[in-house]
Amino acid sequence: MNKIAIARCMAILLSAVFSAVSAAPSGHPTAAIASVADDSKLIMLHGNTRPEATAANDQGAVADTMPLEHVQLQLKRTPEREAALQQYIADLHNPKSSSYHQWLSPSQFATHYGVDGEDVAAVSSWLIAKGFRIDGVAPTGLTLEFSGTAGLVKSAFHTDIHHLNVNGATHYANMRDPMIPAAWRRPWWG
């Protein structure tokens, strides 16, 4: 390879690096859980009960010993990170933006638009302290997967799990919205 070809390759490489750096999103998630969980002060997570969980479909509570495997707990981004993500998405599709078609790797996406690791650790620690097993955490921290029993769910989230008969099919679900420590009251909790 001659010197001109090497110089061109270097120019292309530097241009690609500069584009990636200039297109990189700014900011990172910050911790949103400011205090230790206090189970004597709870708030309800409204909108987290299936519409099928009605008295007409109710077939009674499941046994407390019923295993519940791979339950998913969904978190949300802070409003600031959500706004930054929406702007970044708009910029990805704007030909005049330096971020136009500058896609992020999954790890870059998690770094900039996930949930802060301290918050994931706080929620995970709380679940473990309640007796659950953590099965996995999405790279973004937005989803925690855990397992335990219906009795643990009743104790930790203050909601009963019942058998339901919906159009002849058997299901089970929580019968009212779950509750979490008020210290975690943030608009980002899913």
pLDDT of 54 over the 60 cut: yes
Confidence of residue 38 (pLDDT cuts 50, 70, 90): confident
pLDDT average, residue stretch 165-177: 95
CA angle at 187 for the pair 181 and 188, rounded to the nearest 5°: 85
Q: What is the pLDDT of residue 32?
A: 66
CB 174 within 8 A of CB 161: yes
Confidence of residue 130 (pLDDT cuts 50, 70, 90): very high
pLDDT of 150 over the 70 cut: yes
pLDDT of 86 over the 70 cut: yes
Spatial neighbors of 66 by CB under 8 A, at least 6 apart, are 149, 150, 161, 172
Spatial neighbors of 20 by CB under 8 A, at least 6 apart, are 102
pLDDT of 22 over the 70 cut: no
Please provide the size of the chain in residues. 190
Look up tokens 């910029």; give the residue.
91
**pTM of the predicted protein model:** 0.76
- The percent of residues above 70 in pLDDT, for the chain, comes to 78
Distance CA 16, CA 34 (A): 40
Average per-residue pLDDT for the chain? 82
pLDDT of 27 over the 60 cut: yes
pLDDT of 189 over the 70 cut: no
CB 152 within 8 A of CB 131: yes
pLDDT average, residue stretch 79-100: 91
- The percent of residues above 90 in pLDDT, for the chain, comes to 48
pLDDT of 170 over the 50 cut: yes
For residue 14, give the amino acid letter. Answer: L
